[in-house]
């Protein structure tokens, strides 16, 4: 399905998604139009889902990075999920998981104060364990 050249292309686009098709072509020993055609196919097949940027959240004012393990006491998760949705400025991911906990919440905060408020908020719906990411 995917050949060596496709992998090289994905690798280059991962490193720099704004590379020109001409330069991408050179890197993978193809002409610009050929590289472009490959990329379009990768998009169509859904292998490339998105072109995006990595933002330095600390410089954006969100230096506190945390993982919160959620243990829902109530079988109805909706109140928790609604609350999370309302607090989405802090939430990076909310994974439903199998294992000990029910959800794994990755989030970012401007300060510990706001983290504290957030945790106070969710404790109305669920119990949790907190891990702060150090690096």
Partner DNA sequence: TTAACTCCTTTCAAAAATAAAGTCAAACGT
Partner DNA sequence: ACGTTTGACTTTATTTTTGAAAGGAGTTAA
Binding site for DNA (CB under 7 A): 5, 20-23, 25, 29-34, 36-38
- Residue 114 C-beta-side C-alpha neighbours within 13 Å: 15
Rounded CA-CA distance 67/129 in Å is 8
DSSP 114: H
| 74: three-class secondary structure by DSSP | coil
Q: For residues 25 and 107, which CB has a smaller minimum distance to DNA in the complex?
A: 25
Rounded CA-CA distance 37/15 in Å is 19
What is the contact mask toward a second copy in residues 23 to 62, using x (rule: CB under 8 A)? ----------------------xxxxxxxxxxxx--xx--
Under rule CB under 8 A, residue 4 binds a second copy: no
The Cα angle at residue 135 between residues 122 and 17, in degrees rounded to 5:
95
Q: Which does 38 bind (CB under 5 to 8 A by kind): a second copy, DNA, none?
A: DNA
In the region spanning residues 83 to 122, those forming contacts with a second copy, defined by CB under 8 A, are 95-101, 104
Positions touching a second copy (CB under 8 A) are: 2, 10, 13-18, 45-56, 59-60, 67, 95-101, 104, 129-135
């Amino acid at each position: 399905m995917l050949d060596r050249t496709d992998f090289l292309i994905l690798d280059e686009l991962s490193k720099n998604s704004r590379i020109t098709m001409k330069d991408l072509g050179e890197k993978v020993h193809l002409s610009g139009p050929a590289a472009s055609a490959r990329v379009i196919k990768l998009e169509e097949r859904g292998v490339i889902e998105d072109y995006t940027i990595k933002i330095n959240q600390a410089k954006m004012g969100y230096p506190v990075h945390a993982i919160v393990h959620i243990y829902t006491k109530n079988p109805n998760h909706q109140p928790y999920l609604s609350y999370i949705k309302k607090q989405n400025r802090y939430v990076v991911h909310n994974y439903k998981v199998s294992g000990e906990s029910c959800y794994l919440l990755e989030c970012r905060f401007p300060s510990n104060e706001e983290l504290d408020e957030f945790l106070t908020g969710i404790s109305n719906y669920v119990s949790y364990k907190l891990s702060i990411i150090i690096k």
